[in-house]
């Protein structure tokens, strides 16, 4: 079950400079755990708190362009071929 | 319609149907034409409400200096309102914004201080906060955290839409300061059980997300996710494609952020058709396309237009 993950510039220190990486997992939380085995420290930048934790306040994550906070957050379900995009929160207006 | 002055004519914009882009007689799209406001964008509502609120609170006196971080439209609206009422205005604007926005701000008499392109509006907010601390006599209205911003939409945009479209099932708007969605969304939620409120958020090029660390990220103080049903990130390619469709199919010449909103609205329409449900989907046309002509958004191939937008704050 492969999922493509787009990584923002600010987090590419964990991916050897790669903007696109692949991972697996039934949920977003599981995907981050999987990514962390190859991209050490990445999960710690995305998830805060003890145990399963929760998404960092200033990180936005999208599954196929939909904000995961409206899909269950770290419990959001993933399917084969999904695209995950990670972005820092920025202002509009 | 007759008004006592220009600012009195803010709001009461038309809601027009999209007969060609709506998928069926049961699933219809409706565009709220905010380019019909005095300076040509939805931000006239927030600007007027924030200035009136500051006047009521007694923090604005004649000749006062108003300060605002803005990527363009709010500054342009504030410049018009401030000039009418005898206030001065300084805008902090990211340098990667279209030339037309600078010209319009200058025309209405605003001073512009540019902030670095990297970090986009986050940087403009940071610079404005520093300036506010250095100049305690300046009045920062601060659209990202000023309840009067959302209140403008609670008192005007929401009631106007519900009056024109009592059968509304979906409301779709852009997410910047979050003022439009918070105010209109709350008003509609209180009166239309089960309404779907959808945010379309522009996804810019990498430069705009060029923060030094995650903790420099920014979530507007006005934002309350409980008002929303879902939130979508829309990239420049989809936004441009829909912006062009809107003018080609329905004759509506809109700015690029409206393309992003239409993209999200059409996805809701598609879903309603698949589920066999009736839908009346109202979405916001934030502004006209005039301010974005120089970006190349409306000419050449989509790929060329997308390349021209790279690194620009197009919404």
Instruction: Give A20-63 pLDDT, tens digit per residue.
Output: 999 999 999 999 999 999 999 999 999 988 788 899 999 999 99
| Domain-embedded: residue B151 | no
Do B94 and B66 lie in one domain? The reply is yes
| Domain-embedded: residue B124 | yes
Nearest to A65 by CA among B206, B202, B234: B234
Number of domains in chain B: 2
Do B130 and B174 lie in one domain? The reply is no
Do B164 and B301 lie in one domain? The reply is yes
List Cα–Cα distances, B261 to A63, B138, B273, B286, in angstroms: 18, 35, 19, 9
Do B113 and B18 lie in one domain? The reply is no
**What was the ipTM of the complex prediction?**
0.94
Do B32 and B47 lie in one domain? The reply is no
Round to whole Å and give the CA distance between A53 and B307.
38
Do B129 and B245 lie in one domain? The reply is no
Average pLDDT over residues B222-229: 98
**In the predicted model, what is the mean pLDDT of chain A?**
94
Q: Do B202 and A92 touch (CB under 8 A)?
A: yes
Instruction: Quickly state the pLDDT bin for B69 (edges 50, 70, 90).
Output: very high
pLDDT of residue B83: 95
| Domain-embedded: residue B25 | yes
List Cα–Cα distances, B43 to B105, B109, B180, B313, in angstroms: 14, 17, 9, 16
Please tell me if residue A65 touches chain B, with a CB cutoff of 8 Å.
yes
Round to whole Å and give the CA distance between A4 and A21.
6
List CB contacts of B213: < 8 A, sequence separation 6 or more. Answer: A10
Do B31 and B47 lie in one domain? The reply is no
Q: Domain ends where: B140, B172, B189?
A: B140
Do B26 and B173 lie in one domain? The reply is yes
pLDDT of residue A93: 54
Per-residue pLDDT tens digits for B52-67:
999 999 999 999 999 9
Round to whole Å and give the CA distance between B61 and B9.
24
Instruction: Look up the domain containing B105 and give its range.
Output: 43-140
| Domain-embedded: residue B211 | yes
The CATH number of residue B90's host domain is 3.40.50.1100
Q: Is the pLDDT of residue B92 over 80?
A: yes
Average pLDDT over residues B13-28: 98
Domains and CATH numbers, chain A: 3-88 (3.10.20.30)
Q: Is B292 helix (H, G, I), strand (E, B) or coil?
A: helix
Q: What angle do CA B39, B44, B45 make, to 5 degrees?
A: 155
Distance from CA of A1 to the nearest CA of B (A): 24
Q: Domain ends where: B140, B173, B198?
A: B140
Do B225 and B301 lie in one domain? The reply is yes
Q: Do B206 and A89 touch (CB under 8 A)?
A: no
Q: Domain ends where: B80, B111, B140?
A: B140
Please say whether the beta carbons of B158 and B130 come within 8 A. Answer: no
Dihedral sign, CA of B28, B34, B35, B38?
A: positive
How does strand B196-202 pair with strand B170-174?
parallel
Closest partner CB to B211 (pick from A10, A57, A65): A10
How does strand A83-88 pair with strand B15-17?
unpaired
Do B120 and B261 lie in one domain? The reply is no
Instruction: Quickly state the pLDDT bin for B312 (edges 50, 70, 90).
Output: confident
Q: Do A88 and B217 touch (CB under 8 A)?
A: yes
Do B59 and B31 lie in one domain? The reply is no
pLDDT of residue B52: 98
């Amino acid at each position: 079950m492969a999922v493509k993950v787009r990584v923002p510039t600010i987090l590419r220190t964990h991916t050897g400079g790669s903007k696109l990486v692949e991972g697996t997992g039934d949920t977003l939380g599981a995907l981050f755990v999987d990514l962390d085995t190859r991209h050490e420290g990445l999960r710690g930048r995305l998830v805060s708190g003890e145990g399963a934790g929760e998404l960092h306040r200033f990180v936005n994550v999208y599954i196929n362009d939909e904000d995961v906070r409206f899909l269950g957050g770290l419990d959001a379900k993933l399917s084969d071929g999904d695209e995950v995009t990670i972005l820092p929160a920025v202002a509009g207006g | 319609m007759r008004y006592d002055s220009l600012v009195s004519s803010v709001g009461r914009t038309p809601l027009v149907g999209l007969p060609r882009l709506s998928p069926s007689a049961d699933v219809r799209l409706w565009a709220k034409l905010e380019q019909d406001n005095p300076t040509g964008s939805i931000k006239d509502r927030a600007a007027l409400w924030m200035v009136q609120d500051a006047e009521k609170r007694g923090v604005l006196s004649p000749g006062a200096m108003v300060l605002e971080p803005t990527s363009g439209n709010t500054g342009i609206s504030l410049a018009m309102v401030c000039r009418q009422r005898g206030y001065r205005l300084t805008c902090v604007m990211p340098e990667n914004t279209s030339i037309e926005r600078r010209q319009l701000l200058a025309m209405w008499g605003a001073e512009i201080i540019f902030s670095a392109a990297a970090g986009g509006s986050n940087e403009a907010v940071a610079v404005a906060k520093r300036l506010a601390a250095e100049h305690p006599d300046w009045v920062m209205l601060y659209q990202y955290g000023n309840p009067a911003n959302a209140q403008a939409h609670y008192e005007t945009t929401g009631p106007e839409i519900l009056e024109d479209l009592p059968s509304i099932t979906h409301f779709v708007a852009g997410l910047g300061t979050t003022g439009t969605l918070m105010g209109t969304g709350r008003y509609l939620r209180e009166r239309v059980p089960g309404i779907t409120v959808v945010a379309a958020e522009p996804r810019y090029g990498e430069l705009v997300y060029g923060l030094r660390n995650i903790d420099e990220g920014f979530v507007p103080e006005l934002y309350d996710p409980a008002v929303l049903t879902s939130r979508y990130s829309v990239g420049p390619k989809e936004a441009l494609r829909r912006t062009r469709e809107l003018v080609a199919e329905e004759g509506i010449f809109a700015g690029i952020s409206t393309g992003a909103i239409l993209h999200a609205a059409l996805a809701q329409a598609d879903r309603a058709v698949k589920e066999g449900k009736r839908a009346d989907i109202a979405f916001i046309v934030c502004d006209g396309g005039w301010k974005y002509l120089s970006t190349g958004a409306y000419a050449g191939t989509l790929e060329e237009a997308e390349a021209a937008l790279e690194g620009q704050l197009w919404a």
